[in-house]
C-alpha cells in the first residue's frame, strides 16, 4: 500500500491510547445510514505488493450497529486508527483516517472491495479477505530488562546535523536518491556548514533471512556499499527502525531482534539510528517505553560501533526525563511537523519549557526541518530555521538537496545562525517576553554571549523590542550582530527594537 502523502506532512501513527480516547466521540459523530447488501461487520486483510518487492498487509475492522458504522484501520499492520467522516456513496461506504488516506469499500460476497486514495496522490485497489481474531491479535510482549541508566555514549556533543529522506521522498527513497543526496550535501556547501548525517527513513526493509538477519529490499541492493560511498565523502549514514514488529510504513521492525539488528547496522557501517514507536504500541503499554527503548540502547552500546540513538515516540511519557538513561542522544518532543506556518509555529513556540533537559549529548527534537519543501514563504522558512537553532534542535534538512533554490541553500547554510545551534555550551532558548504577537527568545552562549530572537507571529509587520535589563545576561553589549543581515548593529544604551516582518524574525548575537 502506497504511503503517498502531501509532501512534508510526514504522518505517523498516533498512540494507541490517543486513538482509543477519541473513539467514542468519533462514533457519536458518524452519520447513520441503512446497510445495503452484505453487512459491513467483520475483520479483513488487504494485501498489496510494492515495487520494492515487499507485500504490505492492511487490516480493517468495521462495525455496523443501528445504521451507524465505526471501525479501525491498521495501516500495514502498524496499529489501530479510528475511521472518520463516514458517508454513503451509492453502493460504497466512504471514510477517512488521519494519515490522509481515503477509503471506499463495498461488500462483495464474503470479501470487501477496497479502493484507497491518498491526499498526496496515488491509489491502491484490492480485495480484502476475512481474517480471524487470532490473525488480528497483536504479538506477545517480550520480557524487558530492569530499568537502569546506560552510560553516556559520548556522541552528539552538539545537536546532530544532516538530512532525512522522509519529508520529501517518503517511500520513494532508494539507493540512488541517497547517493545523490550525499553528493549534493557536499557540492552545495552543506557539508562545510556542518551537515554530516545522510539518513534513510522508513521503507528500506525487506524482511529477514533464514538466520533472522534484517535484509534491505530491492530499493537498496547493498547497504554496506552505500555506507562506504557516503563515508568516502566524509559523511555518515543513518537508518530507521521500530521496537515493534512493523515500522510506521508496515515494513520489518526490530521486535525480538534488537541485538541482531544492532550488530547488522554496525557491520554495514551505520552511524545513526532513528527508532520509531509505531507498532510497539500494539504490544507494550506506553508506561513501558523506557525499558523498550533501553533494550535497543543497550544493544547499540554492545554493537562495537558508535551509533547516535534517536528516539522517535512523539514526546510521550515525558521522554526528556529518561531519554539519556536509555542511551538516547535526542528524542522527539512532539507529533509530526507539517510544511505550513501553523504546524511549524505551534510546535516551535511550545518548546521552551523543555529547555532544562537539553545539553551536550542529549537534545530535545521538535522534528525535522521543512525548509525548501514549498509550503511556507522564504520569510517563514527563515523563522523556522532561526527558531530551531535557538532551541538547540537537531538540524535535519527534509528537502530535495539536489534541486535547492538559492534561497533555500542560503537559509540552510547560514553559518552565523548555525553557530547559535551548535554553540558548545549546549543551552536551549527560553521565551523572555511576549506581547501583541511578538515574542523575544534568548539563548545563552559560551563565553558569556547571548543569542536573541525577535519573532513576529502576526500576519502583519510589527515592532519587537526589549531592554538590556530584561535580557539580564549582558548589562550593555559592546557588539550586536544581525545574523540574517550579516552586519553589526549599533547598540542603544537601554535596549533594542526593530520592525519584524509578518511571520518573520530578527536574530541577534550580542557580546
What pTM value is reported for the model? Answer: 0.90
- φ/ψ of 351, rounded to 5, equals -100, -15
Distance, CA of 117 to CA of 96 (rounded, Å): 10
Contact 113, 105 (CB under 8 A): yes
Order of strands across the sheet with 438-444?
430-435, 438-444, 450-456, 505-510, 480-482, 487-489
Cell of 197: 548525517
Which residues of the chain are modeled with pLDDT < 70? Answer: 1-38, 473, 475
Q: List the catalytic residue out of 202, 271, 336, 365.
A: 336
pLDDT of 29 reads 36
336 is an active site residue: yes
Domain regions of the chain by residue span: 16-136, 161-421, 430-510
pLDDT of 202 reads 96
* Residues 350-380: tens digit of each pLDDT: 999 999 999 999 999 999 999 999 999 999 9
Angle (nearest 5°) at CA 244 between 241 and 248: 60
pLDDT of 11 reads 42
- Summary mean pLDDT of the chain: 90
261 is an active site residue: no
pLDDT of 473 reads 67
Q: In angstroms, what is the C-alpha Rg of the chain?
A: 24
Q: In sequence order, which residues have a C-beta less than 8 Å from that of residue 342 and are 6 or more positions away?
A: none
- In terms of CATH, what superfamily is 430-510? Golgi alpha-mannosidase II (2.60.40.1180)
In sequence order, what are the beta bridge partners of 73?
A: 60, 81
Tell me the CB-side half-sphere exposure of residue 243, using CA atoms within 13 A.
30
Buried b (16+ CB within 10 A) or exposed e, 359-378: bbbbbbbbbbbbbbbebbee
pLDDT of 138 reads 81
pLDDT of 118 reads 86
pLDDT of 90 reads 85
Q: List the catalytic residue out of 261, 271, 276, 298.
A: 276
**CATH code for residues 16-136:** 2.40.128
pLDDT of 276 reads 97
At the topology level, CATH places domain 161-421 in TIM Barrel (3.20.20)
pLDDT of 336 reads 94
Amino acid at each position: 500500500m502506497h504511503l503517498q502523502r502531501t509532501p512534508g506532512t510526514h504522518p505517523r501513527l498516533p498512540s494507541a491510547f490517543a486513538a482509543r480516547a477519541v473513539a467514542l466521540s468519533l462514533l457519536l459523530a458518524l452519520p447513520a445510514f441503512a446497510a445495503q447488501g452484505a453487512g459491513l461487520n467483520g475483520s479483513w486483510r488487504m494485501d498489496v505488493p510494492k515495487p520494492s518487492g515487499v507485500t504490505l498487509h492492511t487490516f480493517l475492522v468495521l462495525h455496523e450497529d443501528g445504521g451507524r458504522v465505526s471501525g479501525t484501520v491498521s495501516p500495514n499492520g502498524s496499529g489501530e486508527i479510528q475511521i472518520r467522516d463516514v458517508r454513503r456513496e451509492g453502493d460504497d461506504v466512504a471514510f477517512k483516517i488521519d494519515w490522509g488516506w481515503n477509503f471506499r469499500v463495498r461488500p462483495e460476497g464474503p470479501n470487501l472491495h477496497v479502493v484507497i486514495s491518498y491526499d498526496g496522490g496515488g491509489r491502491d485497489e484490492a480485495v480484502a479477505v476475512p481474517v480471524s481474531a487470532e490473525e488480528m491479535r497483536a504479538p506477545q510482549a517480550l520480557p524487558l530488562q530492569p530499568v537502569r541508566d546506560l552510560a553516556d555514549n559520548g556522541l552528539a556533543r552538539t545537536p546532530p546535523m544532516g538530512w532525512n529522506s522522509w519529508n520529501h521522498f517518503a517511500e520513494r527513497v532508494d539507493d540512488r536518491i541517497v547517493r545523490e543526496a550525499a553528493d549534493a550535501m557536499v557540492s552545495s556547501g552543506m557539508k562545510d556548514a556542518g551537515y554530516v548525517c545522510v539518513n534513510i527513513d522508513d521503507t528500506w526493509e525487506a524482511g529477514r533471512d533464514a538466520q533472522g538477519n534484517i535484509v534491505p529490499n530491492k530499493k537498496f541492493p547493498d547497504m554496506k556499499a552505500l555506507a562506504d560511498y557516503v563515508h568516502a565523502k566524509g559523511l555518515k549514514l543513518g537508518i530507521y527502525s521500530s521496537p515493534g514488529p512493523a515500522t510506521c510504513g508496515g515494513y520489518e521492525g526490530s521486535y525480538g531482534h534488537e541485538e541482531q539488528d544492532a550488530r547488522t547496522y554496525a557491520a554495514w557501517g551505520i552511524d545513526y539510528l532513528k527508532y520509531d514507536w509505531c507498532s510497539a504500541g500494539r504490544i507494550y503499554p506506553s508506561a513501558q517505553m523506557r525499558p523498550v527503548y533501553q533494550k535497543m540502547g543497550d544493544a547499540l552500546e554492545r554493537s562495537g560501533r558508535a551509533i547516535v540513538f534517536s528516539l522517535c515516540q512523539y514526546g510521550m511519557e515525558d521522554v526528556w526525563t529518561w531519554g539519556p538513561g536509555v542511551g538516547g542522544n535526542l528524542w522527539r518532543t512532539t507529533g509530526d511537523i507539517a510544511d505550513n506556518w501553523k504546524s511549524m509555529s505551534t510546535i516551535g513556540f511550545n518548546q521552551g519549557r523543555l529547555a532544562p533537559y537539553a545539553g551536550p549529548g542529549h537534545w530535545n527534537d521538535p522534528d525535522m526541518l521543512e525548509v525548501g519543501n514549498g509550503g511556507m514563504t522564504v520569510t517563514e522558512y527563515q523563522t523556522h530555521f532561526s527558531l530551531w537553532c535557538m532551541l538547540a534542535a537537531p538540524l535535519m534538512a527534509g528537502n530535495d538537496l539536489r534541486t535547492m533554490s538559492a534561497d533555500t541553500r542560503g537559509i540552510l547554510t547560514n553559518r552565523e545562525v548555525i553557530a547559535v545551534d551548535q554553540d558548545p555550551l549546549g543551552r536551549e532558548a527560553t521565551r523572555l517576553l511576549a506581547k501583541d504577537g511578538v515574542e523575544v527568545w534568548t539563548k545563552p552562549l559560551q563565553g558569556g554571549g547571548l543569542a536573541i530572537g525577535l519573532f513576529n507571529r502576526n500576519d502583519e509587520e510589527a515592532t519587537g523590542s526589549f531592554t538590556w535589563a530584561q535580557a539580564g545576561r549582558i548589562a550593555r553589549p559592546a557588539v550586536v550582530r544581525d545574523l540574517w543581515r550579516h552586519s553589526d548593529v549599533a547598540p542603544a544604551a537601554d535596549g533594542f527594537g526593530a520592525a519584524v516582518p509578518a511571520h518573520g524574525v530578527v536574530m541577534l548575537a550580542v557580546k
